[in-house]
Structure 1
Amino acid sequence: RLCFLSFSCLSGVAPESTSRWETGDSPGMFGQAGATRLKDLMPGDFLVHKNFGVGQYGGLKTIAAEEKKYECLKINYSNNGVLYLPTEDLTMIYKYQQNGAGSVRLSELGKSSWLRQKRHAKQMAKGVIKDLIKTQTLRSLPRGFVYGRNDELYRALEGSFPYKETPDQKKAILSVVQDMEKEIPVDRLICGDVGFGKTEVALRAIIKAVSSNKKVFFLAPTTLLADQNYILSKERLGPLGVEIELLSRFKTKPEQKKILEKLANGFIDLVVGTHRLLSPDVVAPGLGLFIVDEEQRFGVRHKEIIKKIRSNIDVITLSATPIPRTLQQSLVGIKNISKIETPPKLRKPIETIVSYFNWEAIRFGVEREISRNGQVYFLHNDINSLPFFHEKLSLMFPLLSIGIAHGKMKTKVLESTVLSFFAGDIDILLCTTIIESGLDVANANTIVINNAQNFGLSQLYQIRGRVGRSPKQAYSLLFVPVGISINTPAFKRLKAMEIYTQLGSGYDIALRDLEIRGAGNVFGYEQSGHLSPVGFEMYCDLLKEASDEALGKHEEKKKAPSVHFGGHALISPEYVPTEDDRLYFYQRLSEAENTNQIKDVSSELKDRFGPLPGPVASLFCVAQMRVSLVGSSVQTLKIMSSFCSVMLCAFFPFSSLKSIEDKISAKQHSYKIKEKGRDIIISASVPNISASLKTARYFINLFRV
Structure 2
Amino acid sequence: ELFSNLGQFARIRLSLAKLGTKAGNKNLSVCELPSIRIDHKQHEPYAAFIDYVTAQKKKKSRILLSVESDGRRESLLNILKPSGLKFKEFDTFEQFTQSDSDVGLIVSPLEQSVVLGSKPSLSIITEQELLGIKVSQRRRRKHKYEASQDALIRNLAELKEGQPVVHLDHGVGRYQGLQTIDAAGVITEFVTIIYAGESKLYVPVSALHMLSRYSGGEESSAPLHKLGSDAWEKAKKRAAEKVRDVAAELLDIYAQRQAKPGNKFTLDGQAYRQFSESFPFEETDDQRNAIEAVLGDMQSKQAMDRLVCGDVGFGKTEVAMRAAFVAVNDGKQVAILVPTTLLAQQHYENFKDRFADFPIEVGVLSRFNSTKEQKDTLENMANGKLDIVIGTHKLIQQDIKFNDLGLLIVDEEHRFGVRQKEKIKALRADVDILTLTATPIPRTLNMAMSGMRDLSIIATPPAKRLAVKTFVRQRDVELIREAILREIKRGGQVYFLHNNVETIERVAQELSEWVPEANVITAHGQMREQELEQIMTQFYHQKYNVIVCTTIIETGIDVPTANTIIMDRADKLGLAQLHQLRGRVGRSHHQAYAYLLTGDPKALSKDASKRLQAIESLEDLGAGFALATHDLEIRGAGELLGDDQSGQMQTIGFSLYMEMLEQAVNALREGKEPTLENLLQKQTEVDLKLPALLPDDYIHDVNARLGMYKRVASCANLGDIDELQVELIDRFGLLPDAAKNLFSLQQLKMQASNLGITKIEANPKGGYFEFSQNTKVNPSFIIGLIQSAPHIYKMEGANKLRFAISEANARERLKMVTAMIADFEKKVSH
TM-score, scaled relative to structure 1: 0.79
2: CA distance, partners of 1:522 / 1:193: 26
Paired residue secondary structure (1:416)? helix
Q: Give the 3 Å change call, closer, same or farther, for CA 495–673 of structure 1 in structure 2.
A: same
Partner of 1:89: 207
2: CA distance, partners of 1:618 / 1:155: 50
1:215-234 aligned within 5 A:
215-234=333-352
Residue 382 (str. 1) matches residue 497 (str. 2)? no
- CA deviation digits over 1:338-363, x for unaligned, max 9? 44343211212222233333433333
- Deviation of the 1:390 alpha carbon: 0.5
Paired residue secondary structure (1:466)? coil
- Deviation of the 1:116 alpha carbon: 0.6
Percent identity for Structure 1 against Structure 2: 34
Native 8 Å contact 1:99 1:528 kept in 2? no
Q: Give the 3 Å change call, closer, same or farther, for CA 457–64 of structure 1 in structure 2.
A: farther
Instruction: Give the counterpart letter for 1:415 in structure 2.
Output: E
- Deviation of the 1:284 alpha carbon: 2.4
1:345 to 453, 459, 463: 463
1:149 to 268, 275, 281: 268
Residue 370 (str. 1) matches residue 493 (str. 2)? no
Query: Mind listing any 5+ residue stretches in structure 1 that lack a counterpart?
Result: 1-24, 666-670
Partner of 2:543: 425
2:781 to 651, 656, 666: 656
2: CA distance, partners of 1:619 / 1:473: 43
Partner of 1:196: 314
- CA deviation digits over 1:52-109, x for unaligned, max 9? 5444334345667666664443445567776543332222232222536873344564
Partner of 1:136: 258
1:201-280 aligned within 5 A:
201-237=319-355, 240=358, 242-251=360-369, 256-257=374-375, 259-280=377-398
Partner of 2:235: 113
1:504 to 622, 646, 654: 622
Report the more deviating stretch, 583-592 or 345-354.
583-592
Paired residue secondary structure (1:446)? strand
Report the more deviating stretch, 212-221 or 593-602.
593-602
- Deviation of the 1:479 alpha carbon: 2.8
Higher RCO (CA 8 Å, separation ≥ 6 residues): 1
Native 8 Å contact 2:261 2:301 kept in 1? no
2:712 to 578, 586, 589: 589
Partner of 2:684: 561
- Deviation of the 1:37 alpha carbon: 1.6
Residue 127 (str. 1) matches residue 249 (str. 2)? yes
Instruction: Give the counterpart letter for 1:561 in structure 2.
Output: T
1: CA distance, partners of 2:694 / 2:716: 20
Paired residue secondary structure (2:408)? strand
Q: Give the 3 Å change call, closer, same or farther, for CA 478–326 of structure 1 in structure 2.
A: closer
Report the more deviating stretch, 587-596 or 371-380.
587-596
1:381-420 aligned within 5 A:
381-420=499-538
1: CA distance, partners of 2:728 / 2:276: 47
2: CA distance, partners of 1:490 / 1:445: 25
Residue 678 (str. 1) matches residue 793 (str. 2)? no
Q: Give the 3 Å change call, closer, same or farther, for CA 420–26 of structure 1 in structure 2.
A: farther
Instruction: Give the counterpart letter for 1:149 in structure 2.
Output: D
2: CA distance, partners of 1:292 / 1:81: 50
Native 8 Å contact 1:458 1:515 kept in 2? no
Partner of 1:165: 283
Q: Give the 3 Å change call, closer, same or farther, for CA 603–61 of structure 1 in structure 2.
A: same
Partner of 1:99: 217
- CA deviation digits over 1:309-336, x for unaligned, max 9? 14122332223346999987864xx755
Paired residue secondary structure (2:649)? coil
Report the more deviating stretch, 504-513 or 287-296.
287-296
Partner of 2:472: 354
- Deviation of the 1:537 alpha carbon: 3.2
2: CA distance, partners of 1:471 / 1:547: 46
Query: Mind listing any 5+ residue stretches in structure 2 that lack a counterpart?
Result: 1-137, 673-677, 826-830
Report the more deviating stretch, 471-480 or 492-501.
492-501
2: CA distance, partners of 1:242 / 1:600: 46
Q: Give the 3 Å change call, closer, same or farther, for CA 80–139 of structure 1 in structure 2.
A: farther
1: CA distance, partners of 2:294 / 2:180: 53
1: CA distance, partners of 2:328 / 2:779: 72
TM-score, scaled relative to structure 2: 0.69
Native 8 Å contact 1:355 1:478 kept in 2? yes
Native 8 Å contact 2:161 2:175 kept in 1? yes
Paired residue secondary structure (2:585)? coil
Instruction: Give the counterpart letter for 1:132 in structure 2.
Output: Y
1:701 to 819, 824, 828: 819
- Deviation of the 1:488 alpha carbon: 5.8
CA RMSD of aligned residues (A): 4.3
